[in-house]
Structure 1
Amino acid sequence: MMQSAGGGGGGGGGRRGWHKRGLARQPEPCGIVESSPPHGIKPLGAAFLSARNHVQDRNESLGDFAIFGDEELLLVLEYLHPRDLCKLACVSRYLRAFASHDELWQAHCEQLFQARPFSYATNWKTSYMRACARGGCDEVSQGACHDSTSTDSSGSQPPQQSAQPEHHQQGQEQDEEQEQEGHATDLAVYSDYLYSSWFYAAACIDPSWLEEETMPRIELSPAEFQAQYESKQKPVILKGLAKSWPAFKLWPDGGIKSVCPKNTLFKAGTFNVTLDAFDTYSPHQCDQRPLYIFDKHFADKCPQLGQQYSVPEHFSTDLFSSIEGANRPNYRWLIVGPAKSGSTWHKDPNSTAAWNALVEGEKRWIMTPPNYPPPGVYPSPDGSAVATPISVTEWFISYYEALQQSGIPYVEGTQRPGDVVFVPHGWWHVVLNTKPSIAVTQNYAGAPNLFAVLRFIGTKPDQVSGVAQDVNLYEELVHGLRQHHPEMMAVVQRELDTRKRTHKRAHGSRRRVADGNDTIGGTRRDSDDDDDGGGGGADDGDEEHDGLARKKPKGPSVVKPFSFNFAS
């Protein structure tokens, strides 16, 4: 299943609409949370081993709904009220499987929990029914949403209704008749869509995903880091850099819950959750794309959290801090997530670099250079949207092996408590929580990526994020730099002048080659030596990353024209 997104982000659990889904390959699962899919769901290929006519079964079970494919049917069911979904689930086994699809019920929970506290129990359908039972929803009191198969994490049954509705009794009688006719051994629901939803949610983390360690994990002084990695825009794991934080001692093992008032709400996808409620959700969920807290206002909601960590000296320069007031773009987030949660492939916004400090747990990182999107990731031509598998687990199962065999340059490594990961601007990256994790991350504009940031926010204002729509981030940053960092403006201006000269030479060289004369100033030169332009960024097409990337074939240097107006 592919999702389309405009860039990085967080929260997990987001519903991106129904898209074509298929198992790219069927690996041997290294472990399954549940022994088998619910409602007798099986992959479509298994129907060839069945003695029954699965096409006839599907048509009879779905009735008029049989004209829809699986994805289209779920789109139709999105419009139904929960009461009607429950009634539909009592009609036949196929309709029960589709009407019980957990992503449908997650959408209803998103609406329900806007007006009441978040509460999770076993799955989203059960969570909805129990929340309604506590709040007196009509559909529960009437018995329409009774689900005798739902249990909570302790195995207890949900509250029983005194009388079951007539359509529920008819559905049970139909199943009993089929069992008496000898068909109970093959009451399967054949659907690749439903099966893959369950499979990607239930499959565990494969140990082979964690074997390679090609991203350096070392201790460095600020000067060493800036000279060896930040200036060259190379990823690195700074070992133990955050271990001196008070948060490193106070937040793990549930300690973070004692730092904030119990009613403090944090953003997790489309939900607002307390840490206690999220702690109930995390160990019991079996979502394909688990929710995780990704909150940009955590330090405002709970000032103690902001006081218990500090920006490492290695990242002390953030030129966005020159923007005063509310016009500074969002730049820091608290991240709390269960195992298997994480961030799908993306680039960080506004061509910023980032650092991510892990307080508790473990994270697996993979990064590829700017011009090398990994297999299964399809950016739009202008970079405004990216189509990726909907979950991190789905990408690893379907495409990790393809990345290993693709020849695409990449680095990967495991981040451990106290480690800080540096993400260079423009690099593609994916993050998988291999254990329940707590982290703090910040995006920033430093001297090495300032030019890339200015170019991005100056030429792609429609893709700028983290500020109000009426804010001209380019003008705000230029104004702030002139006031607080005039020396940086001089560097940027020199860079612009160098690129303009390079652009003129490149165009002049092409004209001379077209005329049969490839000499410059009376001296014959190799065409690949004619490019002395510097700078770069996520969109520059940098092709060398210290041996990671393939080199460009030799040929006339071409520099894309661009311009900035620093006079405003």
Structure 2
Amino acid sequence: MIAAEDRIRKVENVDELINQPDLKRKQGAQPQQRSESPYPNVSRTISTYSISSHKHPLNVKPSGNSFLMLDNQDLIQARSNSLGSLNLFPDDLIMELISFIDDIETLKNLSQVSKIMYAFLYDEDFWKQVYIKHKFENIEWRGSWKNTVLKSNPKNQAKIKLADNLLCSDLLYRPYQISQINYELIFKNIINEEEIYHNDALQNNLRPLPSGRIARIPESDLDLQQFNDEYHDQPFILTNNNKDRWPQWSLASLLDRFPSVKFRQEAVEWNLADYSTYTKSNHDENPLYLFDCNSIAMKTLRQEYQVPQVFDQDLFKYFNVNDLKHNCRPDHAWLIVGPKRSGSTFHKDPNYTSAWNAALTGRKLWIMLPPNMAPPGVGADEEESEVTSPVGIGEWVIAGFFNDCLKIPECLIAVTFPGECMYVPSGWWHSVINIDDSVALTQNFVPMSKLPNALNFLKNKREQLSGFHPSSVKHTLDYVLDTLLAGEEGQDKNEDIIKLREYRDQFNSLNLSDELIDEDCGEMSDLPPMPIFELFKQLMIINNKSEQLNEGLERLIKIELKNYERLTGKSQTWEKLIETKGEDNQTASAGGFSFGFNFNEDESSDEE
């Protein structure tokens, strides 16, 4: 009997899988999930067996193999001879000690002391950190971080093999194991299933999906009003049959245009030619991901695509005042390039913004969870200001957390294909894995439907704001106060304007260095909190958005009341009632307000 997964993979026509009539969409896009679906609800559980069989190049074994050497005195003595006094320490402490050595020549010599020490100094991430620490200005990528730092020829690399079970260490074995992951193989059933949904969408043959999937909606079927009314709270994939809808960028075409332009790749900044060489031959556990918004090339590329109309309403654009000199908006538009196996660990987008992400080249696997549901294997404090997760995506997958996610009914998993655009609602946890070498575009934005959430973040989570820089905020604030609000009546009584002036006075008294005032506020803790909430409100008013602002502020009050009740277990309305009753005897004779509920002290105490 053919398994359901295999049937999905082998059939060419999805109608062979189902015996129900087409469920055509009526009057535009349909809601996200349905209880009944014509598609088989197949298991998406993955097996990681295929990556456990990779042998380490130096014959390092997993830690469990150490039990096989307990009675082998020859191996025990050989390990002792190789490590000397360091043999007394566990592997993680040995690596910690080695990490304090800064001199590259010393590290090279240390790696030649013995075969086991060579294995300890074989780790790619270790040499990546050495490269970053020494801030190399030029790169000649030589196939590995170690060869690149030592400027050695890969062809002359020593052919070293350790005796079986001489070195059994997950610390050394696991990174190599993860670097060999083949996500296309691991996720093949999910990819094949998603390809059916993708092809159906291209043919405008959309049907209700099984649970845990993400709906696809043609761009022509969804307008801004529908988006704000019905779809802003749920991920969906925007599709378009027009092959020219998005720019036809690939790493190769970008390389032809911008070979010498420097782009930001996480902790390094290389030109595209060097990064292209790196993507073809790296063995990183977590390959470098190009995530660039400020390069010269990006300024050109921004003119070559059009934001989908349903995502074009963006209230954060009001942080751009008049011209670039008075622009304090955080970066919000990025070019993303990454080799297969690269991606992003679980996170929420900054400042409670929503996002869209258009895949131009390559397939991406998405794992998404609602705001109130932390992903398995990911820890966060109550305010979600500190998020901790495994070292990287691969570690998270092979540790079993992906399969744990599948057990959560609210978890959504999908694959975007070139030409498709994922919508990520504000506050949603999401992780992305590049199945192929990929190029993508993404932008963060705040639609009207998400204004109350953004206002709540700006007002009540100031310590989590990121992307705002004191220098640009100060320029914008000065312009607003001295030009746009000059001569306005009632400024002295307006609490927001008072706070803006107080911040300006504090800022001017600090005499900050140019370097410090250009820092991201998310990296700073010693400066007074910036009045972003108050500034944003004034900017909306200046741009004739008072009605929308007031609507957002009214909904903000409801959010704050709900959060207060969640954190304290008490109703703020009830507490005001009790407070009023306690003051009743004093205020009634003076004409003060009373609810008139005539509780006596014992009754009110019991209720409280």
TM-score of the aligned structures, taking structure 1 as reference length: 0.71
**Equivalent residue number for residue 109 of structure 1:** 131
Give CA-to-partner distance per residue, 1:385-443, whole Å, 9 cap, x none: 111112212212221112223x3511111101111110001000000000110011111
Residue 313 (str. 1) matches residue 314 (str. 2): no
Q: Quick check: 1:39–1:96 contact (8 Å CA) kept in 2?
A: no
Work out which of the residue numbers 245, 250, 265 in structure 1 matches 2:262.
265
Distance 1:464 1:48, change over 3 A: same
Distance 1:413 1:242, change over 3 A: farther
Cα deviation, residue 521, structure 1: 12
Name the SS of the counterpart of 1:190 in structure 2.
Answer: coil
Give CA-to-partner distance per residue, 1:137-157, whole Å, 9 cap, x none: xxxxxxxxx6xxx62xxxx33
For 1:497 and 1:192, the matched residues in 2 are separated by 51
For 1:191 and 1:238, the matched residues in 2 are separated by 46
Distance 1:86 1:380, change over 3 A: same
Distance 1:496 1:295, change over 3 A: closer
For 1:297 and 1:254, the matched residues in 2 are separated by 20
**Equivalent residue number for residue 255 of structure 1:** 253
Residue 47 (str. 1) matches residue 43 (str. 2): no
Give CA-to-partner distance per residue, 1:366-400, whole Å, 9 cap, x none: 10001111110111222111111122122122211
For 1:224 and 1:209, the matched residues in 2 are separated by 36
**Equivalent residue number for residue 71 of structure 1:** 92
Q: Which gives a bigger RCO, structure 1 or 2 (Cα 8 Å, sep 6+)?
A: 1
2:216 partner amino acid: R
For 2:382 and 2:397, the matched residues in 1 are separated by 25
Structure 1 stretches of 5 or more lacking a match? Answer: 1-24, 131-145, 159-167, 514-519, 523-557, 559-568
Distance 1:441 1:496, change over 3 A: closer
Name the SS of the counterpart of 1:345 in structure 2.
Answer: strand
**Equivalent residue number for residue 492 of structure 1:** 552
For 1:30 and 1:42, the matched residues in 2 are separated by 14
Distance 1:521 1:225, change over 3 A: farther
Distance 1:384 1:247, change over 3 A: same
2:535 partner amino acid: E
Residue 201 (str. 1) matches residue 179 (str. 2): yes
Give CA-to-partner distance per residue, 1:19-57, whole Å, 9 cap, x none: xxxxxx99312587xx52132211111122346245554
Name the SS of the counterpart of 1:39 in structure 2.
Answer: coil
1:163-312 superposed matches below 5 A: 185-186=163-164, 188-205=166-183, 206-207=186-187, 210-211=190-191, 213=194, 214-219=213-218, 220-223=221-224, 226-227=227-228, 229-231=230-232, 233-240=233-240, 243-245=243-245, 247-248=247-248, 251-252=249-250, 254-260=252-258, 262-298=259-295, 300-312=296-308
Name the SS of the counterpart of 1:364 in structure 2.
Answer: strand
1:341 partner amino acid: S
Greater CA drift, 65-74 or 283-292 = 65-74
Q: Quick check: 2:124–2:145 contact (8 Å CA) kept in 1?
A: yes
1:414 partner amino acid: V
**Equivalent residue number for residue 551 of structure 1:** none
1:240 partner amino acid: N
1:379-458 superposed matches below 5 A: 379-398=380-399, 399-405=401-407, 407-458=408-459
For 2:410 and 2:456, the matched residues in 1 are separated by 25
Q: Quick check: 2:104–2:150 contact (8 Å CA) kept in 1?
A: no
Distance 1:66 1:241, change over 3 A: farther
Give CA-to-partner distance per residue, 1:96-146, whole Å, 9 cap, x none: 111222222112222455322x3322211011122xxxxxxxxxxxxxxx6
Q: Give the root-mean-square deviation of aligned CA atoms.
A: 3.2
Cα deviation, residue 224, structure 1: 6.7
Aligned residues: 441
For 2:573 and 2:538, the matched residues in 1 are separated by 35
Cα deviation, residue 289, structure 1: 0.4
Distance 1:77 1:196, change over 3 A: same
Cα deviation, residue 329, structure 1: 1.1
For 1:344 and 1:475, the matched residues in 2 are separated by 33
Cα deviation, residue 258, structure 1: 2.6
Cα deviation, residue 501, structure 1: 8.1
Residue 465 (str. 1) matches residue 466 (str. 2): yes
Distance 1:403 1:422, change over 3 A: same
Distance 1:430 1:238, change over 3 A: same
Write 1 or 2 for the structure with the bigger share of helix. Answer: 2
Give CA-to-partner distance per residue, 1:69-118, whole Å, 9 cap, x none: 222222221121221111111222221111222222112222455322x3
1:376 partner amino acid: G
Name the SS of the counterpart of 1:491 in structure 2.
Answer: helix
1:493-532 superposed matches below 5 A: 493-496=553-556, 506-507=571-572
Cα deviation, residue 453, structure 1: 1.2
For 1:282 and 1:239, the matched residues in 2 are separated by 29
**Equivalent residue number for residue 543 of structure 1:** none
Give CA-to-partner distance per residue, 1:494-550, whole Å, 9 cap, x none: 32455688889945569999xxxxxx999xxxxxxxxxxxxxxxxxxxxxxxxxxxx
Work out which of the residue numbers 525, 534, 538 in structure 2 matches 1:479.
538
**Equivalent residue number for residue 100 of structure 1:** 122
TM-score of the aligned structures, taking structure 2 as reference length: 0.66
